[in-house]
Amino acid sequence: MRITSPDSRRRWLLALAWALLCALMLALQWWQAHAQQQREQFQLTQIVQRQMLEKVAQHKAHLTALTAVAPLQATEESSALSRVAQSIKTIYPRIQEIQLVTPATPATGSCLVPAVAQAAAPLQARASTSLPDEQHAGDYLFIKKVASPSDWLCVRIHSAQLLDEQTLPANSGLRIRLNGHALLEPPPPLRQVRVFGQFTLAGYDQPLEVQLLTRPHNLLSWSMVLISVLLSTLLVGTANLIWKSRQQARRHQQRAQLLANEAQLAHASRVNGMGEMASGIAHELAQPVTALLSQSQAALRAHELGKPELLTTALQANVREARRAGAILERMRGYISNAPSQPQRLDLPQAVNQALLLLDGPARQAGIALRWQTPVQPCWVWADPVSLEQVLNNLVRNALDALSHAATPDANIEITLRTDAKQALLTVQDNGPGVDAATAQRMFEPFFTTKTDGMGLGLPLCATLMERMGGNLEYVHSPRGACFVMHLPLASDDDF
Ligand code: ADP
pLDDT of the residue at 120: 81
82 membership: H or E segment, kind and range: helix 78-91
| DSSP structural state of residue 30 | H
- Report d(CA 269, CA 331) in Å as an integer: 21
Question: Looking at ligand 1, which atom is closest to the CA of residue 451?
Answer: 14
Nearest CA to ligand 1 atom 8: 456
For residue 427, the one-letter residue type is: T
Quick check: 67 and 231 in contact, CB under 8 A?
A: no
Residue 184 burial (CB count, 10 A)? 23
Residue 458 Cα, ligand 1 centroid: separation in angstroms?
Answer: 8
Q: Residue 479: pLDDT above 80?
A: yes
Question: Looking at ligand 1, which atom is closest to the CA of residue 448?
Answer: 10
Q: Residue 80: pLDDT above 70?
A: yes
Quick check: 317 and 295 in contact, CB under 8 A?
A: yes
Class of residue 212 by CB neighbours under 10 A (exposed 0-12, middle 13-18, buried 19+):
buried
pLDDT > 90: percent of the chain? 46
Residue 433 Cα, ligand 1 centroid: separation in angstroms?
Answer: 11
Residue 271 Cα, ligand 1 centroid: separation in angstroms?
Answer: 25
Residue 470 Cα, ligand 1 centroid: separation in angstroms?
Answer: 23
154 membership: H or E segment, kind and range: strand 152-158
pLDDT of the residue at 82: 81
Q: Which of 287-291, 393-397, 458-462 has the lowest mean pLDDT?
A: 287-291
For residues 43, 46, 51, 55, the Cα torsion angle rounded to the nearest 10 degrees is: 170
pLDDT for 272-283, tens place per residue?
Answer: 667 766 766 776
Q: Report residue 66: phi and psi, to 5°.
A: -65, -35
Query: Looking at 63-115, which runs of residues are DSSP E strands?
Result: 95-101
pLDDT of the residue at 387: 87
Residue 272 Cα, ligand 1 centroid: separation in angstroms?
Answer: 23
Residues having CB closer than 6 A to ligand 1 are 394, 398-399, 402, 430, 432, 435, 439, 443, 448-451, 454-459, 482
pLDDT of the residue at 265: 75
Q: Residue 224: pLDDT above 80?
A: yes
Q: Residue 77: pLDDT above 50?
A: no
Distances (CA, A) of 491 to 70, 181, 382: 143, 121, 6
Nearest CA to ligand 1 atom 21: 398
- Give the angle subtended at the CA of 356 by the CAs of 352 and 361, to the nearest 5°: 175
Instruction: Domain 343-495: give its CATH superfamily.
Output: Histidine kinase-like ATPase, C-terminal domain (3.30.565.10)
Question: Looking at ligand 1, which atom is closest to the CA of residue 459?
Answer: 6
- Report d(CA 217, CA 30) in Å as an integer: 12
pLDDT bin (cut points 50, 70, 90) of residue 114 is confident
Nearest CA to ligand 1 atom 16: 450
pLDDT bin (cut points 50, 70, 90) of residue 103 is low
| DSSP structural state of residue 175 | E
pLDDT of the residue at 190: 66
240 membership: H or E segment, kind and range: helix 222-305
pLDDT of the residue at 337: 64
* Higher-pLDDT residue of 267, 295: 295
Quick check: 462 and 395 in contact, CB under 8 A?
A: yes
Average pLDDT over residues 130-148: 88
| DSSP structural state of residue 490 | B
Q: Which of 69-73, 134-138, 392-396 has the lowest mean pLDDT?
A: 69-73
pLDDT for 298-321, tens place per residue?
Answer: 999 999 999 999 899 989 989 988
Residue 83 Cα, ligand 1 centroid: separation in angstroms?
Answer: 142
Sorted by where each begins, the domain ranges of the chain are 42-214, 343-495
pLDDT of the residue at 42: 95
pLDDT bin (cut points 50, 70, 90) of residue 340 is low
Residue 439 Cα, ligand 1 centroid: separation in angstroms?
Answer: 8
pLDDT bin (cut points 50, 70, 90) of residue 333 is confident
Quick check: 457 and 332 in contact, CB under 8 A?
A: yes
Nearest CA to ligand 1 atom 23: 399
- Report d(CA 450, CA 299) in Å as an integer: 35
Distances (CA, A) of 265 to 255, 259, 261, 426: 15, 10, 6, 37
pLDDT for 349-393, tens place per residue?
Answer: 999 998 898 899 899 999 999 999 999 899 999 898 888 988 999
| Closest to 94 measured CA to CA, from 186, 183, 11, 19 | 183
pLDDT bin (cut points 50, 70, 90) of residue 76 is very low
- Report d(CA 259, CA 271) in Å as an integer: 18
Adjacent-strand bridge partners of 198:
211
pLDDT bin (cut points 50, 70, 90) of residue 427 is very high
Question: Looking at ligand 1, which atom is closest to the CA of residue 394?
Answer: 7
pLDDT for 19-32, tens place per residue?
Answer: 999 999 999 999 99
Residue 416 Cα, ligand 1 centroid: separation in angstroms?
Answer: 20
| Closest to 352 measured CA to CA, from 404, 401, 391 | 391
